[in-house]
Amino acid sequence: MPQLEPGLPEDYAGTVTALKALVREAQHHAQRVVNTAMIELYWNIGRSILERQADEPWGSRVLDRLARDLKAEFPHMRGFSRTNLYNMRAFAAAWGNSTPIVQTPSGQLSWSHNVTLLNKVDNHELRTWYALRAARHGWSVAVLEHQILTDLHARVGAAPNNLEARLPSEGTDLAREVAKDPLVLDFLGLTEEAQEHAIEEAMTLRMAQTLAEFGPGFAFVGRQHHLNIDGDDFYIDLLLYHVPSDRYVVVELKAGKFKPENLGQLNFYVAAVNDILRLSRQAPTVGILVCGSKSDRVVRYALEGSTQPLAVTSYTYEALPADERASLPSPAAITAALEHEQPDAPESRNP
């Protein structure tokens, strides 16, 4: 710790640290207030346009003039383009007049998030589903686009699993968090013929995206995590930690089609982690087997004989049509968004 200048009180350094924290919190609060005010403004402008269009011929010509007049009156405010006025109208139409916009999930998101939801999701209930999770988990716009275009809503909780049977008190909710099928691993840049070690290495190099694909709240513990059991060495492909449920998650990778014997090894690793690594305060460990393809019926039969809570998911590199794949954010953009870097910064790589 650096020496204090003569004459300064002993608690000066601690006081400065506390005051810096207060300033940062005030800055964050101010940003949230400004964002909420802007969302409410855009919603009200959109409502005004809708109301007048219901009574008078407020077509594109009128909106063009309105955009020019607003920009002339408020030259330092961005957002009054003709396109954005149409977005405001669509925003107001999408959320209606019954509930103040600040009380909806969209009211907690940025305008860019809301425009993405308007442009990418047609169904109101689905739009609300994505808005709620984007607000809850702090998704960037790039991550939100990725989740929408890869149909996250259809994949969560879809992996065959025995979590509810093995963890009666929490298995249903936990399945929604960790049992995703398929995992979309297109960003790894691998072919269908890739072997397990290549998949594992690529997933580790792109760990930020890999964790985002598994779901919010995952942290990386280790790759080829070593266990020594009575002198024998064992290695877990990927060991993760699910912070929200306070538990280890063992991930085993199989490049080919699922085989029932694959669960034997995973069952063993989960039991070992529970015995060796898990603390008494932590929740029981869960295992996830990631394979190239599977028969859900075969998986279901195999899970019946597993004593540990497990899920089995497939992975895909070809989940989307070419035109939709082209519209996805680049791997660099997603990584930058997740790691709070600039999009053109060198890609961060975990060892």
Write down the pLDDT at residue 346. Answer: 36
The tokens for 350 are 């975990």
Which conformational region is residue 66 in: left (phi greater than 0), alpha (psi within -120 to 50 degrees), or beta?
Answer: alpha
Write down the pLDDT at residue 251. Answer: 92
The count of other CB atoms within 10 Å of the CB of residue 349 is 11
Q: Which CATH entry fits the domain spanning 154-339: 1.10.275.10, 3.40.1350.10, 3.40.50.1100, 3.90.100.10?
A: 3.40.1350.10
User: How far is residue 138 from each of residues 78, 109, 144, 157, measured CA to CA in Å?
Assistant: 24, 9, 9, 21
Query: Which DSSP symbol is given to 10?
Result: T
Per-domain residue ranges for the chain?
13-112, 154-339
In the chain, where does DSSP find H-type helix?
A: 12-55, 60-73, 82-95, 111-120, 124-137, 141-149, 152-155, 163-166, 171-178, 196-205, 207-214, 262-276, 296-304, 322-327, 331-339
Question: Would you say the C-alpha torsion 266, 270, 271, 276 has a positive or negative sign?
Answer: positive
The one-digit pLDDT tens for each residue of the chain (351 residues) are 455 577 778 788 888 888 898 888 888 777 777 788 888 899 999 999 988 888 887 777 888 899 999 989 988 888 899 899 999 999 998 887 666 788 888 888 999 999 999 999 999 999 999 999 898 888 888 888 888 888 888 888 888 888 888 998 888 888 888 888 887 777 776 655 567 787 778 777 777 778 888 888 889 998 899 999 999 999 999 999 999 999 999 999 887 889 999 899 999 999 999 999 999 999 999 999 988 888 889 999 999 988 999 999 887 754 444 554 454 455 455 445 544 433 333 333 333
- In the sheet that holds 247-257, the strands lie side by side as 183-184, 310-316, 286-293, 247-257, 232-242, 218-229
